[in-house]
Every structure is written in C-alpha cells, then in structure tokens.
Amino acid sequence: MTKEEFIANPIFNQFENGDEYYEDCKDALRYVEFAHPTTGTQFKAIYTIEDSCDGGNSYGYITKIDSKDIIAEIGDSEFYCPSK
C-alpha cells in the first residue's frame, strides 16, 4: 500500500499525522485473501500487526476481492460490520 493509498483510506486516515503514522505502519500492514467456506465468495483483508504501529490493537478492513466497498472494519482487534 502506498503512502497516498494509506492516507486516503478511511480506516487509516482517522489517525493524526498520517505521514508519520504511515512510516510507523508501512512494514506492519498485512494483506490476506480468503474465501467463504460455503459460498466461495472471495475476500481480502488489510490490517496492522505491530504494536509500534497500532499500540497493540489491530486496525484494518475487509472487502470483497473485486471491490473497494468496506464490508467490515477491524478496530481494537475486533470486527465491526456496518448495518445497511
């Protein structure tokens, strides 16, 4: 994830000093692709894993593999699914 993508992302841009936060987190971001075991729907997750970046609380999001629409947020190491 580039610095511009990181800062433009609604999950990560909530923190002050986006440039500095990116520098602390750029090596702490993880990208995982996975599929729902029953439907086969493909998803991706991008989240933080290092205390120096997130203070011990993972932050990130989950989307369908072919979409930018966030279907779940990861905050304080918990999943939050917005209601529609």
CB 45 within 8 A of CB 31: yes
pLDDT at 76: 81
| Beta sheet of 70-75, edge-to-edge order | 29-35, 42-48, 60-64, 70-75, 78-80
Query: Which pTM value belongs to this model?
Result: 0.79
pLDDT at 19: 63
pLDDT at 14: 66
Q: What is the pLDDT of residues 21-72, one digit of tens each?
A: 788 788 888 999 999 999 999 999 998 888 877 788 888 899 999 998 889 9
